[in-house]
Structure 1
Amino acid sequence: MQRILVTGATGNVGYDVIRFLSRLQAPVQIVAGVRNVEKARQVFKDLPALEFVQFDFEQPATFTEALNNIDRVFLLRPPQIAKIKKYFDPLFVQMQKQQVKQVVFLSVQGAEKSKIIPHHKIEQSIKAFGFDYIFLRPGYFMQNLTTTLLADIREKQQIVLPAGKAKFNWIDVENISEAAAILLHEFEHYKNRAFELTGYENEDFYAVSQIITENAHVPVTFKNVHPLRFYFIKRRMGMPRGKILVMIMLHFLPRFQPEPHISDFYEQLTHKAPTKLKTFVVRERVHFTP
């Protein structure tokens, strides 16, 4: 039986990856890599077959036990980590030592072209270390509206970003996680390739604000700000410097790039259409209420 380590297991994506993997009823052992095992047991108390192990990107001492007898890793980048060589290379070295050779990495759409974002550097490191890999490159998470951007929406009825009129492709984390679970299960069929995973809607934040206003019945507007102003706003809110810089890169650079490519890979993989923005907002509208 193959053993799959899921990093970031209690986060938005990791949580759903484990859920979808467990539903596949495949002959694999899922291992949840978490910083706090006891808390994670409560989160997944309805999955008695799930194994737990302490795993923390910022604590390399946790790598050895976490990788014990692991065949395949689902890897994602915690938002606060921007120094790739410092935090990811030691993990890759340990994976080599323990003969862990297969990685499914949650990257971002356009990572192959944008050399300054952390995801590009991680992809290059994975290749340089010689792992078999699948790079899953999704569009912009719809769940950013209910997590990273939620405080401004609830407190100010605004989305505040240096994004201008840039269009983003919007994809539901549930769609991403379902695709990731299938790729983890069918790794040999898809290995050493990269796949764009998108929804069917490219929209700027002006349009998304209107969708929230109309479907969550909360008046939300988009406020475009200069990147430097955005930096100081978020620093005053206590956001880590590295996370702010990544947010600026992910929201400001698309202003100078072509509109995102739309892929039908999710539908090919699952035989279902991806979630629409309106559907997502209606489903999650309780989050937007001040």
Structure 2
Amino acid sequence: MKRILITGATGNIGTELVHYLCELDNGSEIIVAVRNVERAKEKFPNLSGLSFRLFDFEEQNSFDTAFKDIDILFLLRPPHISEVDKYFQPLLKSAKNNGIEKVVFLSVQGAEKSKVIPHNRIERLIKSIGFKYIFVRPSYFMQNLTTTLLPELQKNQTITLPSGQAKFNWIDLKNIGEVSAVLIKSFEKHKNKAYEITGTENKNFQEVSEILSETIGSKFNFKSINPISFYFKKRKDGIENGFAIVMTILHFLPRFQKEPEISDNFNKLTGKKPTTLKEFINREKDRITTPQAVY
């Protein structure tokens, strides 16, 4: 029986991945790696077959126990952690020392081209240590509208970013969770490959604000500001330094890059069509418009 360890299991993508892996029923043992086991059990009340292990990205003494007897590691980067040498180098070395040979890493579209983002360095580190790997490279998350961008959307129906008219490709985390489960299940077929996972729409934030307005039925606006002002705005909002820098880079650099390429990998791997922005906004309408829905 394969043992699959899921980091970030109680987060947005991890939760989707755990559910899709359980649905596939591939005879593997699915183990969630979490800081709080009791809280994690509450997160998955109807998935009785799960196992739980203590794990914390910021506590190296949790690595060896979590990685014992694991066949496949699903790895993601928590948004607030950007220091690859400090956190991911010891993590991956511990994984290797404990016999893990296969890593599925949730990266980001274009990671191979941009050495300034942490995902690029993590990908190179995984290769240099000698893991068999699959890199999942999704485009821009639709769920940013219901997480990092949500407070401002709810407060004054505005999105403020340093992105100008740059276009982003939009993908639903449910789609990422599903395709990641498929890749994990068929690891040997896809090993040592990278897959860009995109939606079907390239839209800038002005266009997204118009879709929000049309779908929800009230006016939403987009405001573009310079990256320095954006960085200090995020710091004033209480965002940690590393995350504020990553947010600034991810929303500013696309102004100087080509429009994202649209991939059909999701359809090829799952046989389904990815979620559209309008479908996503309709699904999450209450969360976007109701302050109590912040999470």
TM over 0.5: yes
| Aligned: 1:175 with 2:175 | yes
Which stretches of structure 1, 4 residues or more, deviate above 2 A after TM superposition?
none
Q: Which amino acid aligns with 1:115?
A: K
Determine the structure 2 residue equivalent to 1:144: 144
Moved more, 153-162 or 211-220: 211-220
| 2:126 is the alignment partner of 1:98 | no
Q: Kindly state the Cα deviation for residue 217 of structure 1 after the two structures are TM-superposed.
A: 2.2
**1:216–1:288 contact (8 Å) kept in structure 2:** no
Paired residue for 2:205? 205
Instruction: Identify the residue that residue 47 of structure 1 maps to in structure 2.
Output: 47
Give the SS at the match of 2:166. Answer: coil
- Corresponding position: 1:236 with 2:252: no
Aligned residue for 2:119, secondary structure, equals helix
Distance of 2:223 and 2:33 partners within structure 1: 37
Residue 232 of structure 1: how far off its partner (Å): 1.2
Residue 289 of structure 1 and its aligned partner are, at CA, apart by 1.0
The answer as to whether partners of 1:218 and 1:288 remain within 8 angstroms in 2 is: no
Partner of 1:71: 71
AA in 1 matched with 2:213: T
- Give the deviation of 1:137 after TM superposition: 0.4
Q: What's the Cα RMSD here? A: 0.7
Provide the rounded CA distance (Å) in 1 between the counterparts of 2:278 and 2:96: 44
In structure 1, what is the Cα distance between the partners aligned to 2:289 and 2:275? Answer: 22
2:131 corresponds to which residue? 131
**Number of aligned residues:** 290
Separation (CA, whole Å) in 1 of partners of 2:61 and 2:15: 24
Aligned to 2:293: none
Write out per-residue CA displacement over residues 125-145 of structure 1, whole angstroms, 9 at most, x where no aligned residue. 000000000001000000010
For residue 53 of structure 1, give the secondary structure of its aligned residue in structure 2: strand
> What secondary structure is seen at the aligned counterpart in 2 of 1:112?
helix
Q: Hey, what does 1:115 align to over in structure 2?
A: 115
Structure 2 distance, partners of 1:289, 1:148, is 15
Q: How far off its partner does 1:38 sit? A: 0.7
Residues 56-105 of structure 1: CA deviation (Å, up to 9, x unaligned): 11011111111111000110000000100100000111011111010000
Deviation of residue 55 (structure 1)? 1.0
Secondary structure, counterpart of 1:30 in structure 2? strand
Counting only pairs closer than 5 Å after superposition, residues 178-189 of structure 1 correspond to structure 2 as: 178-189=178-189
- Indicate the residue corresponding to 2:29 in structure 1: 29
Residues 141-290 of structure 1: matches in 2 within 5 Å? Answer: 141-290=141-290
**Counterpart residue type for residue 225 of structure 1:** I
Quote the residue 1:17 is aligned against: 17
User: Cα–Cα, structure 1 residues 218 and 188, in superposed 2: closer, same or farther, change >3 Å?
Assistant: same
Amino acid at match of 1:129: I
Q: Secondary structure at the match of 1:272?
A: coil
- TM-superposed CA distance for 1:35, in Å, is 1.1
* Partner SS state of residue 4, structure 1: strand
C-alpha separation in 2, matches of 1:281 and 1:196: 23
Q: By how many angstroms is 1:218 displaced?
A: 3.4
SS in 2 for 1:231: helix
Q: What SS does structure 2 have at the residue aligned with 1:228?
A: helix
Aligned amino acid, residue 87 of structure 2: Y
CA contact (8 A) 1:117 1:246 kept: yes
TM superposition shift of 1:149: 0.5
Identity of counterpart residues, as a percentage? 52
1:188 maps to amino acid: E
Which residues of structure 1 form unaligned runs of 5+?
none
The answer on whether the counterparts of 1:13 and 1:176 sit within 8 Å (CA) in structure 2 is: yes
Q: Secondary structure at the match of 2:280?
A: helix
2: CA distance between counterparts of 1:145 and 1:218?
16
DSSP-derived class of the 1:9 partner: coil
| Equivalent-residue separation in structure 2 for 1:79 and 1:217 (angstroms) | 32
Once residues 268 and 193 of structure 1 are traced to their aligned partners in structure 2, the CA distance between those partners, rounded to angstroms, is 15
TM-score (norm 2): 0.97
What TM-score results when the alignment is normalised by the length of structure 1? 0.99
Contact 1:218 1:289 in 2 (8 A): no
Q: Indicate the SS of the match to 1:195.
A: strand
